[in-house]
Amino acid sequence: MKKSIIALAVSSVLLAACGEQTTTSPAPASSEVPAKSSTTTVASESERANQLFDQIFDAGVDRSPIWQTYLGLKKDYDKWNDISEQNAEKELAIAKQDLAKVKQLDTSKLDPQTLVSYHLLVQRLENQISDHQWRHHNYPVNQMRGLHAQIPALLINQHRVTELSDAQAYVSRLNGINPLFDQLIEQLKIREQKGIIAPKFVFAHVIRDSKNILNGAPFTDGDDSTLLADFKRKVEKLELDDSAKATLIEDAKKALIENVKPGYSKLITYVEQLEKKADTRDGVWKMPNGEAFFNNALARTTTTDLTSEQIHQLGLDEVARIHDEMRAIMKQVEFKGDLNEFFEFMRNDPQFYYPDTEEGRQRYLTEATALIDDMKTRIDQLFLTKPKAELLVKRVEAFREKSAGKAFYNQPAADGSRPGIYYANLYKMEAMPTYQMAALAYHEGVPGHHMQIALKQELEGIPKFRKFGGYTAYTEGWGLYSELVPKEIGLYQNPYDDFGRLAMELWRACRLVVDTGIHSKKWTREQGIDYYVSNTPNAKSDAVKMVERHIVMPSQATAYKVGMLKILELRQKAKDALADKFDIRQFHDVILSQGPVPLNVLEDMVNQYIDTTKNA
């Protein structure tokens, strides 16, 4: 990407956003048509470019029924994605064609905003084409993600049933699971032939979660299975006669028996066989060209040129700094002992945990919702622009809570038909201490992911690929930054809650150390777990889940701290440069107003905001 062009384009965008006027020449005589024609040409080429950008995005959505559903669309509501090897080659060819089309645009005739979009899309397509070589360097089913868990989660949480055709589409999707799993098994076999097999610990999670889908009616005696119960709930709300509802439910039972059960059974059988070939080597260094793959993954995740060694050292430095801040809190609450003893106290004292009961879980959800509701009343202190979409706090469903992450966010439907969802995993209450509740709620909800992700979908004047795409370092950097911001407006008054905030930040700093340790330095799973247990107050179960996440999602967890530190660095730079002219609301608008961008582009945006504000 040509940074100088991006910087110039961003400068003009921010000038326009701030209402700045550029000096203009006197109006030309009527014979001087070229000046007006030139403006028209710029508008015309930019319009053509944005139409092309949206055509490329829309075509991609049209090829992905799953993505359509996440976006709240019902176009191919009865279908699943094509995950065959043939389709992967087809997607590569399409990316090359799209890149050629985009590069035919005359960049000298694009307006500043469109020029930014042009460079972002070119970069994205070039990365997609380059990364085709790494398409098998992953584990298609694991404890964090995979169709075995994504399918029921999507049907339950995303597939809305508001009319008869929606219910029929649900049944069609149930019938489509068996052929889809044939493709999934074929993808696993390709990786098996290349020696890309998940470490042994992964298999128990996948087998258990898959078997959970086949528990209950109509597969076994007892209560309805997860999918049948969901389908019945949705059908019962339809305005249909009892006979029509009964027919739909019988169709669903037939689909579950004839397609869902065979599909999951085949997957379970294959995974059980594959498990026998698995070993305990955890890092991607064991894969073909594993070092090059990991370096590429770090570059994609962080949108920086930081090396694995630099990221590892950054983590060590941040762990040391945060430990010092925690020692200050330890003195504040007059705890007698060293930091590890304080960790032990925070990890085990019952005052910091709600009971491992339904009442305890409901109390957690109620109080997390209250924290977000309180934060919403303070939002005008921090933001000029706010999202319209609502936010729901919800418990992770029982069928996937044992293997799912601690907390996560699902974006709202673009049309407003579905709210954003903050999921809290309450499987083990010992992993959800109350002193971390506030930081988690701020990260996943407001002012964190909901503020950023819902708002980007509502932005006007930018193409769809920027509204609905993302960069992990930007998105997760904002989420982690959002844990700190409430402290700056007077929250976290309880020192234990502030310790919880630091504990969350410490957790992300440790991620830099352990992710790179596993994938570059050949750390074992046990070494990673020991590092978390020794350096954080979190439960060992937290450490196990996080290390297992690092193993199956190499580089992903480095995004949080790298992104947060860049935002803080840019904010301090703006404060130092602008002094009394600095307005936190304007700064946040700059960060969020263009949607997700790589960190180098974010830096350009803030630099131009500084220049614009200085000259205002």
pLDDT of residue 9: 52
Confidence of residue 192 (pLDDT cuts 50, 70, 90): very high
Place of tokens 């999507």: 154
Question: What is the rounded average pLDDT of the residues 229-248?
Answer: 98
Whether pLDDT at 113 is above 50 = yes
- Exposed, middle or buried: residue 247 (CB in 10 Å: 0-12, 13-18, 19+)? middle
Enter the pTM of the model.
0.86
pLDDT of residue 10: 52
Half-sphere exposure of 18 (CA within 13 A, CB side): 25
272-304 tens-digit pLDDT? 999 999 999 999 999 999 999 999 999 999 999
Distance of CA 389 to the CA centre of its chain: 18
pLDDT of residue 34: 38
Provide the b/e sequence for 124-135 (b: ≥16 CB within 10 Å): bbeebeebeeee
pLDDT of residue 39: 63
Looking at the chain, the whole-number percentage of residues with pLDDT higher than 90 is 87
547-602 tens-digit pLDDT? 999 999 999 999 999 999 999 999 999 999 999 999 999 999 999 989 999 999 99
389-419 tens-digit pLDDT? 999 999 998 888 887 888 999 999 878 888 9
> Contact, 489 vs 447, CB < 8 A?
no
pLDDT of residue 404: 80
pLDDT of residue 6: 52
Question: What is the rounded average pLDDT of the residues 103-116?
Answer: 95
pLDDT of residue 202: 97
Q: Give whichever of 21-25, 181-185, 536-540 has the largest mean pLDDT.
A: 181-185
Whether pLDDT at 38 is above 70 = no
pLDDT of residue 427: 94
pLDDT of residue 539: 83
Lowest mean pLDDT among 14-23, 225-234, 297-306, 576-585: 14-23
Whether pLDDT at 263 is above 60 = yes
Among 170, 157, 161, 173, which residue's Cα sits nearest to residue 81? 173
Segments making up each domain of the chain, as ranges? 1-19+36-136, 147-282, 292-568
57-101 tens-digit pLDDT? 999 999 999 999 998 899 999 999 999 999 999 999 999 999 999
Please give the backbone phi and psi of residue 144, each rounded to the nearest 5 degrees, phi first. Answer: -95, -35
d(CA 358, CA 375): 26
pLDDT of residue 415: 82
Whether pLDDT at 36 is above 70 = no
Whether pLDDT at 463 is above 70 = yes
State the average pLDDT for the chain: 92
pLDDT of residue 17: 43
pLDDT of residue 273: 98
Place of tokens 């009319």: 163
- Exposed, middle or buried: residue 241 (CB in 10 Å: 0-12, 13-18, 19+)? exposed
- Exposed, middle or buried: residue 260 (CB in 10 Å: 0-12, 13-18, 19+)? buried
Confidence of residue 128 (pLDDT cuts 50, 70, 90): very high
d(CA 79, CA 76): 6
Lowest mean pLDDT among 36-40, 357-361, 479-483, 579-583: 36-40
Place of tokens 């830099």: 512
- 364's CB contacts (< 8 A; 6+ apart) are 354, 424, 426, 429, 432, 434, 437
Question: What is the rounded average pLDDT of the residues 157-164?
Answer: 96
Lowest mean pLDDT among 6-20, 208-222, 497-511: 6-20
Vertex 321: Cα angle to 320 and 326 (nearest 5):
95
